[in-house]
Amino acid sequence: MTRHFLTTSAAVLALTAPAFAATKADVVANYADIAAAKYEDSLTTTKTLQAAVNALIENPSAEALHNAQGAWLASRVPYQQTEVYRFGNAIVDDWEGKVNAWPLDEGLIDYVDADYGGPTDENPLAALNIVANPSFEVAGETIDAADITPALLESLHEADGVEANVATGYHAIEFLLWGQDKNGHNHGAGDRPWTDFAAGDACTGDNCDRRAAYLKAATDLLVSDLEFMAAQWSADGEARSTVTGDADAGLVAILTGMGSLSYGEQAGERMRLGLLLNDPEEEHDCFSDNTHNSHYYDGLGIQNVYLGEYVRVDGSLVSGPSVSDLVAEVNADLDAELQGKLSTTMMSLGRIKTAAESGFSYDQMLERGNEAGEALVMGGVNGLVDQTKSIEAAVKALGLDSLAFEGSDSLDNPDAVFE
């Protein structure tokens, strides 16, 4: 009996754990290498933005503002491709809110149009205007904001516990560089005049020195935040050792990141909701009208993590063993299906990008009754939803399902306090 039992269980083990050509350890190591490259690229391009912001502040001009805007747009290309690292990696997710929080009540930061409205049910600080006020109250406490420093902005981020109080990160900087987009569903981005940063009598919008100080503090803070995250993925970084220390858990992190970003976050919160609300501000990069690129590079990040290859901002390629290789080993059809779906999504997101770049911008697509726009956006949503089903199948095919979903459950229910 015992001998038979051993024979049977050995056979079962052999069936359930085939020898992978690409080892799981290689795959998670390559995943960490790609993360390191993406965050380093995000850091490099943000340092370029920092230089452009400093130049704008020292010597304000239309050209200097334009250069800073261009640098911001370039910095978004690698950063958006990192978003696929968020949901599976606690180190990234805990940190991400500081750098890419959205949507925001921009009246917290600077002047806004009269029809923006004042404080709301959800947010008493929606129209605070930090730039105009060297001192103000938050939840009954007086804040000294005479010097606008990175530390001050960090302390005001999510002020009063409201997530829409975004004081730091890419979107705060975006608002300072572009201003509100007042074109509604018509074509056109925010149009902040360069004189909002001008000295003396040339200054428009008041408090140009404080606005410049805010922009500088927010940019410096973004650089230091990205330095932190790049270090987490370096040779002895904690984010790297977390995924490489337990390859199965690392694979769960990869697939959780792909599925959560595809479905709940990008397809749902960022794309479908905007259509449902027909609201032109309900787009991810609403001040710069760069939403088509945000979506495109989010999708590309999902695809390149699955395929295990990433093109860096200097054009070089980081590539290695991938989840795709592992899935192909156990189920070649499923791998082909998932690769096909990721490509279909990229085609759909590419259509949105192409249309936006040729003059039909994302906020126009959201307008009530705009059928062409709705079809473009829904193409992306449908692709993302569809690929999520195959990602779930990949989790199962790799035998990670119990691990994946029990793991997320324990995050959802930290402790049974009242048991």
Partner 1 sequence: MRMIAFAASLLLSTPVWAQDSAALVDTAITDHILPGFTSLANASEALKSAAATDCRSDSEALRTAYHKGFDAWMAVNHLRFGPTEADERAFALAFWPDTKGFTPKSLSKLIAAEDPVVADPAEFSEVSVAARGFFAMEFLLYDDRISQLGDDAYRCSLIQAVANDINRNADAILTDWQSTYATLMRTPSPEGPYTTDLAAVAELFKALDTGLQFNEEARLGRPLGTFDKPRPRRAEARRSGRSLQNISVSLSSLEQLASILSAQSPSPSDNLTAAFESALSHAEELQDDPVFAGVSDIQGRLRVEILQQYIGNIRDIVLQELGPALDVTAGFNALDGD
Which positions touch partner 1 (CB under 8 A)? 1, 4-5, 8-9, 12-13, 16, 87, 97, 103, 120-122, 160-161, 163-164, 259-266, 268-269, 276-279, 368-369, 388, 391-392, 395-396, 401-402, 404-406, 409, 412-413, 416-419
User: What distance lies between CA 12 and its chain's CA centroid?
Assistant: 42
Nearer to partner 1, 236 or 415 (CB): 415
What is the smallest separation between the CB atom of 106 and partner 1, expressed in angstroms? 12
What is the smallest separation between the CB atom of 259 and partner 1, expressed in angstroms? 4
Cα–Cα distance for residue pair 321/35, rounded to 1 Å: 14
Query: Which H or E element spans position 101?
Result: none
Residues with Cβ < 8 Å from 120, sequence gap 6 or more?
A: 105, 126
- DSSP of 32-82: HHHHHHHHHHHHHHHHHHHHHHHHHHHS--HHHHHHHHHHHHHHHHHHHHH
Please, what is the angle between helix 401-412 and helix 371-397, to 10°? 110
Nearer to partner 1, 12 or 347 (CB): 12
Cα–Cα distance for residue pair 74/67, rounded to 1 Å: 11
The residue written with tokens 């979903």 in the block is 405
Nearer to partner 1, 104 or 189 (CB): 104
Nearer to partner 1, 309 or 392 (CB): 392
Nearer to partner 1, 71 or 143 (CB): 143
What is the smallest separation between the CB atom of 330 and partner 1, expressed in angstroms? 15
Q: Which residues pair with 309 in a beta bridge?
A: 319
What is the smallest separation between the CB atom of 288 and partner 1, expressed in angstroms? 20
Name the residue among 373, 133, 388 with its Cα closest to residue 257. 388
What is the smallest separation between the CB atom of 9 and partner 1, expressed in angstroms? 6
What is the smallest separation between the CB atom of 206 and partner 1, expressed in angstroms? 27
Nearer to partner 1, 318 or 334 (CB): 334
Cα–Cα distance for residue pair 210/310, rounded to 1 Å: 39
Nearer to partner 1, 20 or 116 (CB): 116
Going along 109-264, which residue ranges are E strands? 135-138, 141-144
Nearer to partner 1, 179 or 259 (CB): 259
The alpha helices in 83-207, defined as continuous H runs, are: 90-100, 150-156, 170-178
Cα–Cα distance for residue pair 98/93, rounded to 1 Å: 10
Q: Are 10 and 310 contacting, i.e. CB atoms less than 8 angstroms apart?
A: no
What is the smallest separation between the CB atom of 177 and partner 1, expressed in angstroms? 23
Nearer to partner 1, 13 or 235 (CB): 13
CA quadruple 326, 330, 333, 336: dihedral, nearest 10: 0
What is the smallest separation between the CB atom of 397 and partner 1, expressed in angstroms? 13
